[in-house]
Amino acid sequence: MADTTFLVPDLQVRVEDGALDGLRQDYVETKIADAVAYILDECPRVAARLREGTLSENNYKRVVADVVMRVVRNPEGLQTESEGGYSYGARASVASGDFWLSDRDRRTLNGSNPVMGLGTMSIGLDKGWA
């Protein structure tokens, strides 16, 4: 039975060699725990979808790893950098350590629902002009 457990080894096998070098074990563990909590708050059906098998454990772990590494790889939040007359640009939301999910991440975690929602429409003889 799949659950939402995600451990440091799950992260280590999904990132390039050296990506976690120099980071304290407790720091990485905390970022993982924070990312899992964030994902479960943002996508509350994840645990049920894992149990049902409609979300694969690999896809779930890939998204968790991506969310963690967005923060860990770029703690300064650098967005742009130049060399001649050096300058740089930073994204405050990344530098703050905020987690975020891309639209693709949300589709993966929530699943796609091909059924259109309920709505209203009107039918009439209005030609569009007076």
> Residue 78's pLDDT is what?
60
* Higher pLDDT, residue 61 or 17: 61
**pLDDT, averaged across the chain:** 82
- Is 70 contained in some domain? yes
Indicate if the alpha-carbon torsion angle 55, 5, 43, 73 is positive or negative: negative
Residue 122 lies in a domain: no
Domain that holds residue 63: 8-110
Look at residue 73 in the predicted model and tell me its pLDDT.
80
Please tell me which residue, 129 or 106, carries the higher pLDDT value: 106
Residue with more model confidence, 33 or 97: 33
Domain assignment present for residue 48? The answer is yes
Domain count, the chain: 1
What was the pLDDT predicted at 124?
62
Per the domain annotation, does 130 fall within a domain?
A: no
